[in-house]
Every structure is written in C-alpha cells, then in structure tokens.
Amino acid sequence: MRAPSESISKKISLVTKITGLSPIIIPSILLAIGDRMASMAALEAARNRFNLNDRQVIVSNLVAKLPSVLQFFLFSFIPVTLTIFPRHVAVRFLVNYFLVFTVVSTVGVILSKLYLSGKADCEIIDDRKPMPNIAWQEAVRKALLTAVRPFLRISIMMVTMTMLVTVAIGSGAFQNLVIWVPFTGQQIGAEVIPYIGAGVTSMLGGVAAVGAGFKTGAISEDYIVQILFIISIVHNVYDLCLASIPRCLAVYGHGLGLKVSMVSFVVTQVTMLTFLFLLRHGII
C-alpha cells in the first residue's frame, strides 16, 4: 500500500504538469475547492516563503477560479436552477456557466505555460534561523498585530465599498449597466431591468427572480439563459467592489491585491460577454 504522502505527491505532480505551475503553488489551488480565503492565504504564505513574483500570484488566482466555484455549483447553483427552470434550460445554463470558469482557469494555465517555468523565480527564503527568546506577552502582542492589521484593512475597505455600492444601487446605476451590454435588443429590453436589479447583490436572488418571471409568463423560456448571463455580468461588478477587491487587498496588500482582483475580473467579464454574444446568436 502506498503511503498517503506518496499519493499526495503524485497528485501534486500531475496538477503541476497540467497547469505548468510550481509544485509549491499547487496546494493553494487545491484548497480553493474547499475555501477561497484559505487558498489565498496559503498562496500568500508561499509567496512570502518562496519569494514568488506578482505574475505567479496573478496566474495562480486565475487557475484557481474553477476549483473555487465547484462547491457553490454542487450545493447551491445546480439544485436551485434544476428546481426552478425546465430541465433542458437549467442544463444549458449550467453547462455554459461552468464553461465560463473553465475557460478562465484555462487562460491561467495558458499564461502559466507561456510565462512561467515551474520552479522559476521561486527562491526559498531561509526561515530556519534560531528563534529569538521572546516573552509570551510580546509574542501575543505581535500575533494580535499580525491578525488585526489585515482585519482592519478588509473592514475599512468593505465599509467604504458598501457605502459606495449602496449609493450606486439607490441611484439605479447598477440596473442601468444593462444599457452598456451591447447584446440587448428588441427581444430582451428594458422589461428585464427589474430582474437584473434583483440579481445585483445576489446571483441566486437573480435566478429566483427570473424563475418567478418565467412562471408568470413575463419571461420567455427562450431568453432565460441570456438574461441569467446578463445578471451575472452585472453582479460581477457588485462582487468586485464588495468582495473581490477588499479580500485581495487584505491578503496580498494594496499593489498586488488590486492587480489580482482586476485581472480576474477582466478575464471573467470578457469570457462571460463572449458567451453571451454566442448565446444571443444561437451559436451555443
């Protein structure tokens, strides 16, 4: 029987070959399946210890996009959509929506193959220096500072973003984002704005609203998937402001955190807009 450590090592080696990422990054990618914040924290720890550069961190976060949504898909999205919509509509939406995140992670893999080279730019920082003899009071103080600083950063950012987003929602700015989506036409027009508004703060809320519109006959079965994609595109703007940016700034710091959140946002939005275009023209 193979030792557990040997089995884990082989799995990490396999993922390394597929993604082109350094083996020291792979555990953080796998952690994303269970908890996104734990995954980011593990990647930040690896960055500090092995001196990973910004490009490795950004690419790793793109690769982790698909693993990070698996739990949400399995336990929330799939049961809800299959319950609300006709099965063939739900399956069409779920498959295409899942493919969006597959494409985003694939972009990360391609960038990894092109610009990274496994262990390149990874330098182990010697952390085996003898530990200084620090009084327990001082150790507790330093531990509290280490924990409190990221908490304060993310709290301040989230409060600020919440205020801005609340004002934006109140002014109708988020709902009016549909005007800037160049795929709305005579078949899908202003009548969908209330359903888009329902999905601004919660994607599941948008799904439920569209389901209610479908049951009352306000939304045609032919346009459910397209409307759900539009809702997702608008919701991603809300999520960027209220979750992604604060989370990335708290974990990676201001400079790198903003890069990570914005690159992930842009790649995801471009992919979703492309899928929406294909859906609107009946290609998929």
Average pLDDT estimate for 89-114? 94
* Distance separating alpha carbons of residues 208 and 49, to the nearest angstrom: 45
Question: Which of the two residues, 268 and 133, has the higher pLDDT score?
Answer: 268
Q: 76: domain range?
A: 1-120
Sign for the CA dihedral angle at 137, 141, 142, 144 comes to positive
The segment with the largest mean pLDDT, out of 159-163, 187-191, 271-275, is 271-275
**Do 99 and 40 lie in a common domain?**
yes
Within a domain: 129: no
Confidence of residue 75 (pLDDT cuts 50, 70, 90): confident
Is the pLDDT at 267 greater than 90? The verdict is yes
* Distance separating alpha carbons of residues 153 and 246, to the nearest angstrom: 8
**Do 145 and 80 lie in a common domain?**
no
Taking alpha carbons only, the member of 68, 71, 64 closest to residue 15 is 64
Within a domain: 20: yes
Phi and psi at residue 256, in whole multiples of 5°? -70, -40
Within a domain: 40: yes
**Percent of the chain residues past pLDDT 90, beyond the cut:** 30
**Do 146 and 19 lie in a common domain?**
no
Question: Which of the two residues, 263 and 199, has the higher pLDDT score?
Answer: 263
Is the pLDDT at 129 greater than 50? The verdict is no
**Do 162 and 235 lie in a common domain?**
yes
Within a domain: 35: yes
Confidence of residue 124 (pLDDT cuts 50, 70, 90): very low
